[in-house]
Amino acid sequence: MNDDSAARFTRKGLATRARITAAAAKLMFERGVANTSIDEVRSTAGVGGSQVSHYFRDKRDLTRQVIAARRDDVVSFHSQPQLGALDSLDALQAWADACVADIDTVYLVGGCIYGSLAGELIDADDEIRDDLAAGYDEWLGLFHNGLTAMRQRGDLRDDADPRHLATALVIAHQGGAMVTHATGDSEPLRVAVNAAVDYVRSFAPHPAGRGRTRRTPKR
Amino acid sequence: MAHPDVQDEQRLTPKGRATRDRIVQAAAQLIVTEGLTASNMERVRKAASVSGSQLAHYFTDKSALIRAVVRRQIGVVLDFHRQPRLGDLDSFDDFERWIDVNMRYLRRIGTSGRTPTFHALTAQLAKSDDATRATLGAGYWQWIELLEAAIERMKARSVLAADADPRGLAMVIVSAHQGGGTLAFVYRAEWPHADAVRFAVNYLRMFATDPAERAPRPPRRPRR
């Protein structure tokens, strides 16, 4: 996100601003954007009211900073060493496993940190939706790069479409997170991300049999 | 087994039901546009052209109204899956038509984000309170069970292999659908949903017993 406003703050000012953004991100994750007031953000961040208005024009401005912060969170999640460059079936399986490992602490609490924000703001103005789409572009791009490398190396067949497969991975995650959060059941997300990885695997030149790692016990 | 809200619903005369539906529709619209707050209950009343006492007669409080909105919308989703065009939704041809009708539906409602689809309601309401979230969750289970039963029939006819897990497959289809809808609204474009429903049906195809059915179909390319 282009953020010219950051330039006018000192280093200390930027730290305070980041603390306020983090407090807002936490509250919005737990209770939603609509149910988060500037007052609550102020007291959670432990800053005075004038400081919030010093750093953020209004709640909309603060929300845009939260979107940017959550976008960074998504990128750093996908940059964990064990996920490599998301450019092998093992790395993609490690991604699915990493998502599943966070189900209790993240997804059952508030859904996806990015997707739940995006979902709540889908009726927002174009500028906010452009911010959100740019975050998805970046996320899709991470998978797209990895999948393209896999195809170039011959790990995926020529009929594998990196753009389609990248979209399948992100969408399975987003929908699975949504259904898991609403139902309070870990299965939908677990099954959805594993299905997306198995889908990618089905485009390997010699698929090692359907659903090598599929784990879908009955509820 | 009926929830008290549902019993209330069933007691109504046809006219009462129509009035109640008007209120629910007005509330659904407000939830996805500006959120349903105590202060805009008045707008629901006006949009539905009912009096305050009528509103209170049908819905004891705002949460009861919100739960009614969620139940109505899952009804729309279930009816969508039961439309005659989809047959019994238990063959690959039926699921290919499911893709078509999904894309046609999206084209009709548009991607403005101002239609109270189920994923839009979930995104607005899942963090509000436990009772509302439970109603959303119950809606997802109904949807999953409908698909599970259809996939179970495909398995019984050996269209799908013995290791196909109908419930897991149903969860994948519903998840893909909801993720696709969310990204379509964010991008204000159809391609995310096109990829989502294609992924869902191609994933189902991975379990086909017939090798010709098992081959993935290429995604269609709407403008990006």
Do A84 and A120 reside in the same domain of the chain? yes
Query: Domain B75-214 class?
Result: mainly alpha
Flag whether A36 is in a domain.
yes
Q: What is the rounded CA–CA span in Å between residue A126 and residue B112?
A: 10
Domain residue ranges of chain B, discontinuous segments joined by +? 4-67, 75-214
CATH for A168: 1.10.357.10
Mean per-residue pLDDT, A36-47: 95
- pTM of the predicted structure, to 2 decimals: 0.93
Do A73 and A169 reside in the same domain of the chain? yes
Distance of residue A46 Cα from the nearest chain B Cα, in angstroms: 24
Residues of B in contact with A134 (CB under 8 A): none
CB contact under 8 A, B126 and A211: no
Residue among B123, B133, B216 minimizing CB distance to A120: B123
Mean pLDDT, chain A, integer: 92
Do A182 and A91 reside in the same domain of the chain? yes
Mean pLDDT, chain B, integer: 91
Residue B4: per-residue pLDDT: 59
* B135-175: pLDDT as tens digits: 999 999 999 999 999 999 999 999 999 999 999 999 999 99
Place of tokens 């299965």: A187
Residue A75: per-residue pLDDT: 97
Helices B62-81 and B14-33: angle between axes, nearest 10 degrees: 100
Distance of residue A90 Cα from the nearest chain B Cα, in angstroms: 19
Per-residue confidence at A2, pLDDT binned at 50, 70, 90?
Answer: very low
Chain-centre distance for alpha carbon B60: 25
Share of chain A above pLDDT 90, in %: 85
Residue among A110, A115, A123 minimizing CB distance to B127: A110
Residues of A in contact with B145 (CB under 8 A): none
Q: Is the pLDDT reported for residue B37 higher than 80?
A: no
Flag whether A180 is in a domain.
yes
Flag whether A207 is in a domain.
no
User: A101-115, A205-219, B119-133: which has the minimum mean pLDDT?
Assistant: A205-219
CATH no. of B4-67: 1.10.10
Per-residue confidence at B12, pLDDT binned at 50, 70, 90?
Answer: confident
Q: Is the pLDDT reported for residue B220 higher than 90?
A: no
Flag whether A208 is in a domain.
no
Residue range of the domain that includes A23: 4-64
Residue B77: per-residue pLDDT: 96
Q: What is the rounded CA–CA span in Å between residue B106 and residue B177?
A: 11
Mean per-residue pLDDT, B106-130: 91
Interface check A111 vs B, CB under 8 A: yes
Do A85 and A23 reside in the same domain of the chain? no
Residue A193: per-residue pLDDT: 98
Do A184 and A77 reside in the same domain of the chain? yes
Flag whether A184 is in a domain.
yes
Do A197 and A90 reside in the same domain of the chain? yes
Do A143 and A197 reside in the same domain of the chain? yes
* B51-89: pLDDT as tens digits: 999 999 999 888 899 999 999 999 999 999 999 999 999
User: A79-83, A194-198, B113-117, B131-135: which has the minimum mean pLDDT?
Assistant: B113-117
Do A151 and A171 reside in the same domain of the chain? yes
- The residue from A34, A64, A94 where one domain ends is A64
Per-residue confidence at B100, pLDDT binned at 50, 70, 90?
Answer: very high
Q: Is the pLDDT reported for residue B3 higher than 80?
A: no
Chain-centre distance for alpha carbon B171: 13
Per-residue confidence at A139, pLDDT binned at 50, 70, 90?
Answer: very high
Residue B114: per-residue pLDDT: 80
Do A19 and A98 reside in the same domain of the chain? no
> If you write DSSP's letter for every residue of A92-161 in order, what string do you get?
HHHHHHHHHHTIIIIIHHHS-TTHHHHHHTTTS-HHHHHHHHHHHHHHHHHHHHHHHHHHHHTSS-TT--
What residues contact residue A71 under an 8 Å CB cut-off, 6+ apart? A1, A114, A134, A135, A138
Residue A212: per-residue pLDDT: 46
Flag whether A216 is in a domain.
no
CATH for A20: 1.10.10.60
Residue B206: per-residue pLDDT: 98
Distance of residue A148 Cα from the nearest chain B Cα, in angstroms: 17
Do A100 and A11 reside in the same domain of the chain? no
Domain count across chain A: 2
Flag whether A58 is in a domain.
yes
List the single residue in A with minimal CA-CA distance to B164. Answer: A216
Residue A209: per-residue pLDDT: 53
Do A46 and A85 reside in the same domain of the chain? no
Residues of A in contact with B141 (CB under 8 A): 183
Mean per-residue pLDDT, A97-112: 98
Do A72 and A60 reside in the same domain of the chain? no
Q: Is the pLDDT reported for residue A135 higher than 90?
A: yes
CB contact under 8 A, B198 and A133: no
Higher pLDDT, A177 or B15: A177
Flag whether A74 is in a domain.
yes
Q: What is the rounded CA–CA span in Å between residue B165 and residue A37?
A: 44
Residues of A in contact with B195 (CB under 8 A): 164, 167-168, 171
Q: What is the rounded CA–CA span in Å between residue A33 and residue A68?
A: 14
* A49-59: pLDDT as tens digits: 788 999 999 99
CB contact under 8 A, B174 and A198: no
Per-residue confidence at A45, pLDDT binned at 50, 70, 90?
Answer: very high
CB contact under 8 A, A199 and B199: yes
Mean per-residue pLDDT, B98-106: 97
Q: Is the pLDDT reported for residue A42 higher than 90?
A: yes
Interface check A119 vs B, CB under 8 A: yes
Residue B41: per-residue pLDDT: 83
Residue B138: per-residue pLDDT: 98
Token pair belonging to A48: 């005075």
Higher pLDDT, B89 or B221: B89
- The residue from A18, A40, A64 where one domain ends is A64
Query: Of B167, B183, B210, B214, which to mutate for an interface test with A (greatest number of A Cβ within 10 Å)?
Result: B183
Q: What is the rounded CA–CA span in Å between residue B167 and residue B163?
A: 12
